[in-house]
Amino acid sequence: MGTVAVKQAKPHVECNSALEMLRMMVLIREFEAPCDQQYRAGKIGGYVHYYNGQEAVATGLVPLLRNGDTMITAYRDHGYALALGTSPQSIMAELFGKATGCAGGKGGSMHLYDVARGFLGGYGIVGGSVPLAVGSAFALKYRNMPNLCITFLGDGAMEQGAVHEAMNMAGLYHVPCLFVLENNGYAMGTSVSRHAAETDFVKRVTNGYAIEGERVDGMDVLAVRAAGERVMERMREDGRPFFLEAVTYRYAGHGFADNAQQQKFYRTDEEIDAYRHRDPIDQLYHLMEKHGDITEADFKRMQAEAKAVVEEAIRFAEESPFPSPDSLFENVLSGN
């Protein structure tokens, strides 16, 4: 039996109560709030894709990962790293391109990495991360490890050929890969109905690749969590792949170039408002408040604490050094 050649850090943050899930979603949202300003100030290079609106998906699923599990995502990746327990400081330092960043400052926002926790990276090629995830899940199976790989993809990635080749292999070889489709309705400015011939993604995968699947409300963290617990427990027993579609929404544009003016070409303010009324943070907060589990003062304190953590992360990133020129060729794979 093989072993993973890295020392495992704490595999995930404790996120076992509604209060902890609320705290995590608030942290993910607050983490991204000042990034606009930092980007415009020239502190963050490259590109940034925001996760806001989608917090319930990472928060509901990622803390369920165990020691030895792996995770691979696309470029909208801050939320998953935070939910896994990667420190906000090292994530912010990565956005700032600093040596103390979780990828040594050479990845940036789209390429976070925390191998000690099983996070094998954020990837920029749409759908390109999915075959890597199937490869990782295959390796876990090959080594007889009681683990799974979770991978997140967008609705746009569902039209990528490599995704379907990988899903076919996962279904054929029974590899423990959990495909989580975050259907936020758009691939950049193209709506699902304009890019998908069959918009029922669960049907496409379950009919096509002998992979079981289901759909969950991705704005409801409790529903996502419940589905995740059930599905992962089952996968750990039968070692088979699973496809979970979380129906969600991003409030922000695709990335920085997709500003409010641009977005008018593909979606209305009314649509964004309708989703804001089902906001994952507000939904959970109001439910907890109704049951007497939290007060408005507690919630405000929680938001203030998250802001303080993020301010500290920015300070840390600011004060950290850039990678040395000598490190430019470290971790570069070439030749044999």
Show the site string, 173-192: x = touches ligand TPP by CB under 6 A, - = not: -----------x-xxx----
Show the site string, 233-272: x = touches ligand TPP by CB under 6 A, - = not: ---------------------x------------------
- For residue 124, which amino acid is it? G
CA distance 223 to 66: 20
Closest alpha carbon to 34 in 110, 96, 107: 96
Q: Is 111 in the site for ligand TPP (CB under 6 A)?
A: no
Tokens of 40: 């415009």
Question: Residue 87 or residue 191: which is nearer to ligand TPP going by CB?
Answer: 191
Q: Is 88 in the site for ligand TPP (CB under 6 A)?
A: no
Q: Is 156 in the site for ligand TPP (CB under 6 A)?
A: yes
Return the residue of 48, 157, 178, 227 that touches ligand TPP, per CB under 6 A: 157
Spatial strand order of the sheet with 149-154 comes to: 119-122, 70-73, 149-154, 177-183, 242-247, 212-217
Q: Is 53 in the site for ligand TPP (CB under 6 A)?
A: no
The residue range among 13-21, 148-156, 197-205, 314-322 that interacts with ligand TPP, by the rule CB under 6 A, is 148-156
245 by DSSP, 3-state: which? strand
Q: Is 154 in the site for ligand TPP (CB under 6 A)?
A: yes
Residue in the shown chain whose Cβ atom is closest to ligand TPP? 154
Return the residue of 125, 172, 308, 328 that touches ligand TPP, per CB under 6 A: 125
Query: What would the 3-class secondary structure string for 260-271 be?
Result: HHHHCCCCCHHH
Smallest gap from Cβ 3 to ligand TPP, in A, equals: 33
Closest alpha carbon to 36 in 109, 114, 113: 109
Return the residue of 29, 76, 204, 240 that touches ligand TPP, per CB under 6 A: 76
The DSSP element (H or E) to which 138 belongs, if any, is helix 129-142
Closest alpha carbon to 155 in 33, 282, 269, 254: 254
Binding site for ligand TPP (CB under 6 A): 76, 124-126, 154-157, 184, 186-188, 254
